[in-house]
Structure formats: structure tokens, C-alpha cells
Structure 1
Amino acid sequence: MFDVKDTDFFDLDDSAFDTIVEDDISFTGEIKIKKTFMIRGKVNGKISSTSDIVIDSNAVVNADIEAERVLIRGKVKGNVIGNKLIFITSSGAVDGDITTGKVVLEPGCVFSGKCTMVKNENEK
């Protein structure tokens, strides 16, 4: 098919994540994190990271998200900012606006919102 740069975090196993919100956890509030982060449970509020965020297949997130790269396999209701990349897989759904330098929407995903593409000043 095609090769997408910046998708090496697809291949990370659980041990590569410093923090995982497991599927039996429901969290409400603001999360600020500096390292790679995975959500499998339910999160309501706001999430910001200076690294990558993975929203796993069964996750339900009602929050605005900002991170370097965002991989969405589950459901997100809120605006998503990916400074480098937003990737929505075929099992993913986003109800909100996305802002990013690169976006990939796999066939079968659900996206309802506005997409704004911005140029990253560090890339040439």
C-alpha cells in the first residue's frame, strides 16, 4: 500500500509504555505526561503529552488531546492536536476537530469534524 513515516509507535509492546490506563479504569480530570502513554479504559477531561499517545481499541475518551503523535484505535470525543501526526485506524472514531502536520485516516474509520493541516517549522 503505502509507507507512513513516524508510525514506529505502532510496533511498541506494553513494556514500552511508562503509563497505561487499563480497561478497568475510569478517570476524570487533567492528565499531563512527558512519556509515551496508552489508554485502554475511559478518560474524561483533558490530556496533554510531550510524547506519543495511543488510544487503544476499546478505549473511550471524552477529552481534548494534545501530543506529538496520536494513534487512535478506539473512540475519541474531543479535539485532537498532533504536533507531528494523527493516525486513525479502521477501528478508530473521532468526533471533534483535528489539527496536525500529517494525518492518516484508514478506510473504515469514523471522523466527524474539521481537519486543519499545519506545517511543522522543524521539518524541511
Structure 2
Amino acid sequence: MFSEKKTKQSSGNEEQNRIASGTVITGEVSAKGCFRIEGTLKGHLNTPGKVVISDGGFIDGTLECGSADIEGKFTGKLVVTDVLSLRKTAQIEGEVVAGKLAIEPGAVFNATCEMGKQVKTLKKEDEKRSA
């Protein structure tokens, strides 16, 4: 009786893109939505959305995204503004910059890692306490 129809405005991040198993893409990919990688991407992927690399999926290159959930393989530079989750089957090699990092036991993580944007410096008083 008093219900109103509300329209949901799409920001583009709800859209799901998929690279299927057996597919190999070489080059630069940019999108507003999320990605599920089941095949292979050699190059650069840039999206503000979430990227899932499935078990069997592989990225060789650069990945810049909002968040990532990795079960497959990644080699190269990985920049995640929010949370990077590595599942037990994940294999990461290269350079990682992430806001937050979660790693399950069993994941292979052979990378340099930088988290957050600020590094806390010790004050003289803190140095005296730790000595």
C-alpha cells in the first residue's frame, strides 16, 4: 500500500567480467566492473572492482584493482587498494602493494610486499623503552 519502487543506480562495479578457462588474452584490459580469471592474462589489468583469479587461472603482468581473491597463479606487479586474500592454492611471485593482506596456510608468497600508505616512525622515547 505504501511501498515505493526504488531504482538502484549502477556504479559499474556490480558488473562481472570473465576470462574463461582455455582463453589467453595478451595486452591491456581496463574495466569498471569485477573480473573472474579462469584462463590466462598476459599484460595489464586495471579495475576499481574485485578480481578473482580462480584455481587454474594465471596473470603474468600487472594487476591494479580494488580488492583481489587469488586461488591461482600471479607473476608480476600486484597493486590492491583494499584487501588482498591469498587462498591455500595461490602462487604469487613479484611485487605486491596492498592495503590489507590475508594469507591462508599453504599459499606460496615469493614477493616483496608493501602494506598501507604510512610507515610509523619510532620516537626517541619508544626506542628507550625497547632497549
Normalising by the residue count of structure 1, what TM-score does the alignment of the two structures yield?
0.80
Distance in structure 2 (CA, Å) of the matches to 1:85 and 1:104? 8
Number of the residue aligned with 1:38: 36
Matched, 1:56 2:73: no
Q: How does 1:99-114 map to 2 (within 5 A)?
A: 99-114=97-112
Contact 1:42 1:61 in 2 (8 A): yes
Task: Find the partner of 2:65 among 51, 64, 67.
Answer: 67
Percent identity between the aligned chains? 25
Q: How does 1:1-12 map to 2 (within 5 A)?
A: none
Number of the residue aligned with 2:11: none
For 1:100, give the aligned amino acid.
A
Distance in structure 1 (CA, Å) of the matches to 2:94 and 2:84? 13
Over the aligned positions, Cα root-mean-square deviation in angstroms equals: 1.4
Matched, 1:90 2:88: yes
Contact 1:97 1:115 in 2 (8 A): yes
Cα separation, partners in 2 of 1:31 and 1:116, compared to 1, 3 Å: same
Flag structure 2 segments of 5+ consecutive residues without an equivalent.
1-13, 119-131
Matched, 1:78 2:73: no
Counterpart of 1:97 in 2: which secondary structure?
strand
Contact 1:71 1:89 in 2 (8 A): yes
Q: How many residues align?
A: 105
Flag structure 1 segments of 5+ consecutive residues without an equivalent.
1-15
